[in-house]
Amino acid sequence: MKQLPVPPLAQSLDRYLTALQPLVTAEELAISKQLAADFAAGEGAECQAALEQFAAAENQAGRNYMSEAWYAGYLGSRGPLSLVSNVSFQLAFESQFSGLARAADVIYQLAWMQLKQLRGEGEPDVSPRGEELSPSQWRFATGAMREPRAGCDAIVDGPTSPQHREILVLRHNNAYAVRVADEHGQPLPRPVLEQALQAIVAADHAPGRFTDLSYLGSASAADILAELLADEANQQVYQRLREALFLVDLTEGCDDPILALRRLTFESGHAWAYKPATYQIDVGGDFVAVHFEHTLADGATLKELVARARRHEPNETSGSAPEPELLQWSETPDLAARIDAGLSAFEAEAAKYRVRRETCDFQVPAGFKLSTDAAMQWVMLYAQVATWGRVRSHYEAVDMREYAAGRTECLRSVTPEAVALVRGLLAGDATAEQLEAARVAHSGWVKACKSGNAIDRHLFGLQLMASRLGLTPAVFADESYKRLTSDLLSTTSLGDRAQIIRLTFAPTAPGCIGVNYTADPGAFEFCLSWRTDERPEIDVFAANLAAGTAALQQLVAAVAGVSQE
């Protein structure tokens, strides 16, 4: 397994200064250059040596120098997870069934995959290029989940045994324990699961409050949960929740996938927000999605989970299972009132979030060499400059599972070359040379990320070492550094739609816009998320995405020698 390298200090500082160029004035860049030089000549060497030593120790333990900080960053957040770091993914599941039979089929596929993993029969983790990938993110397959605690949350692992495992099924915010595995750790047949779902729907209980606590955020949820678990009956309910492989929310009315994704992400009652996966299945249609807690795993691992689940083998045995069991919290009036107050506060904030989809026609000419990832980043850059008249950072996530305990790196796509191209597109005089220069620059960032030589994780690691050493390097207090790491657009793409159709998430910083972007044959799709009180000009930005796509299409066609008639 490859180890995540610690890049040379001089290399990262050079790349850092290059990344700053489009974002700052000449005077600000001169200040940043001096601060970087001072850091390299002084505290930087000490921080670099400490980071290299720390990385070596972490590598020996099967981790990397970012592992500890990664968990700390997630587990230390105190706000509602749905508004901080959770993500909702629309999934591509195929089934020959409909209604509850289809829901049971999807549950069977998911259970089949996770139980196979627990039996030690999981497929090798390899990339499409045959590279070994870190299996560390499969920790969540046990049912492991995040637990709200005072000060900092914790990860509580699920049982490693696949035998007699359960899931929890949500129906109108009531939770039912449903057996999905037999005494051998094999998934129960689909008809058995369908019978359980039929019983749950037939029960037709009034709307419940099972998941409400999980939407509060750990600042208040930790204390409330501790008080809730003073009751022995609640301890037993919570144990079933902790040990469940995953949750499923049975719902209706998901005809509009964008509205459905928004509800799943930003409305309460659909997930236990601290559990890695609560799948939502529309029993009246074909919508399947997951509300995903992000601490243990990333989208690329979820993509692989869906791919493996769809390669399932049917269970043709008869089988049987206990009746679904309704699980309920025993709440004192005081606890119920505190949960209700916290939920009202969450809902008031969540109501400010919106999701929309923009689809823009774009055709890559046959035989023309163009990265659609780069092209879509340029379109987003065009839109932000056209909308706000200035240049700010984009965050683009890059999968790093080819390294031990690898998660993601940040690709800084707003390069000087990309800005020159976009300004040319806006002026109507962009050239083939600008297009090629922007392509090469973007490719260089991709290579830097995939080789472990990008800057964001390294600079963050150096900051951590400085803190441990009691140092306060001026380079990290520089306004230019803050500008680089304060993103206007937080962007992510998972390639094609074979497993994940689209996703949405809360913007990662004040004023930020979240963007999931996907290149389809003949079109670009941008799925945007934002706060209405922070980005009222979103209609203008969306219109400029279309304008930027059209401008880039015109340039690409001209360079490729393709008529636009």
We report the CATH number of the domain holding residue 388 as: 3.30.559.10
Q: Determine the average pLDDT of the residues in 436-443.
A: 98
Specify whether 507 is located in the same domain as 441: yes
Q: Determine the average pLDDT of the residues in 199-219.
A: 96
CB 528 within 8 A of CB 514: yes
Specify whether 364 is located in the same domain as 331: no
We report the CATH number of the domain holding residue 284 as: 3.30.559.70
Strands of the sheet with 325-327, listed across from one edge: 325-327, 174-179, 166-171, 247-251, 277-282, 288-292, 87-91, 500-505
- Within 97-151, strands assigned E span 145-147
Q: Determine the average pLDDT of the residues in 470-479.
A: 98
Q: How far apart are CA 413 and CA 22, in angstroms?
A: 11
Q: Is the pLDDT of residue 565 over 60?
A: no
Nearest 5°: CA angle at 557, between 554 and 562?
135
Specify whether 21 is located in the same domain as 89: no
Specify whether 195 is located in the same domain as 329: yes
Q: Give CA separation, 519 vs 56, 325, 458, 524, in Å.
A: 39, 44, 30, 5
Q: Is the pLDDT of residue 459 over 60?
A: yes
The phi, psi pair for 166, rounded to 5°, reads -120, 160
What's the confidence (pLDDT) of residue 28? Answer: 98
What's the confidence (pLDDT) of residue 51? Answer: 98
User: Is 129 among the domain residues?
Assistant: yes
Express each pLDDT in 104-158 by its tens digit: 999 999 999 999 999 999 999 999 889 999 999 999 999 999 999 999 999 999 9
User: Is 134 among the domain residues?
Assistant: yes
Could you write out the DSSP letters of every residue in 424-490? Answer: HHHHT---HHHHHHHHHHHHHHHHHHHTT--SHHHHHHHHHHHHHHT---HHHH-HHHHHHHSEEEE
Reported confidence tier of residue 204, pLDDT bands at 50, 70, 90: confident
Q: How far apart are CA 472 and CA 490, in angstroms?
A: 28
Predicted structure pTM score: 0.96
Specify whether 333 is located in the same domain as 382: no
Express each pLDDT in 73-119 by its tens digit: 999 999 999 999 999 999 999 899 999 999 999 999 999 999 999 99
360-393 as b/e, with b when 16 or more CB fall inside 10 Å?
bebebeeeeebbbbbbbbbbbbbbbbbbeeebbb
The phi, psi pair for 240, rounded to 5°, reads -65, -40
In percent, the amount of the chain with pLDDT more than 90 equals 96
- Within 172-265, strands assigned E span 174-179, 247-251
Specify whether 2 is located in the same domain as 96: no
Residue that terminates a domain, selected from 477, 511, 532: 477
Q: Identify the CA nearest to 9 among candidates 400, 465, 415.
A: 465
User: Is 124 among the domain residues?
Assistant: yes
User: Is 407 among the domain residues?
Assistant: no
What's the confidence (pLDDT) of residue 324? Answer: 98
User: Is 62 among the domain residues?
Assistant: yes
Express each pLDDT in 333-367 by its tens digit: 999 999 999 999 999 999 999 999 999 999 999 99
Number of domain units in the chain? 3
Specify whether 498 is located in the same domain as 527: yes
Specify whether 420 is located in the same domain as 540: yes
Specify whether 447 is located in the same domain as 460: no
Q: Identify the CA nearest to 412 among candidates 364, 465, 453, 463.
A: 453
Specify whether 16 is located in the same domain as 60: yes
Q: Do strands 288-292 and 87-91 pair parallel, antiparallel, or not at all (unpaired)?
A: antiparallel
User: Is 403 among the domain residues?
Assistant: no
- Segments forming the whole domain that contains residue 549: 353-392+413-452+486-560
Contacts of 539 (CB under 8 A, 6+ apart): none
Q: How far apart are CA 477 and CA 32, in angstroms?
A: 10
We report the CATH number of the domain holding residue 462 as: 1.10.275.20
Q: Do strands 154-156 and 325-327 pair parallel, antiparallel, or not at all (unpaired)?
A: unpaired
Does residue 132 sit in helix, strand or coil? strand
What's the confidence (pLDDT) of residue 18? Answer: 98
Q: Identify the CA nearest to 426 among candidates 393, 390, 392.
A: 390
What's the confidence (pLDDT) of residue 563? Answer: 59
Contacts of 342 (CB under 8 A, 6+ apart): 213, 215, 216, 217, 220, 221, 224
In percent, the amount of the chain with pLDDT more than 70 equals 99
Give the mean pLDDT of the chain.
96
Specify whether 494 is located in the same domain as 471: no
User: Is 422 among the domain residues?
Assistant: yes
Q: Is the pLDDT of residue 564 over 80?
A: no
Structure tokens at 510: 């004040």
Least confident of 33-47, 280-294, 312-326, 341-355: 312-326
Q: Identify the CA nearest to 201 among candidates 255, 250, 253, 269.
A: 250
Specify whether 514 is located in the same domain as 468: no
User: Is 147 among the domain residues?
Assistant: yes
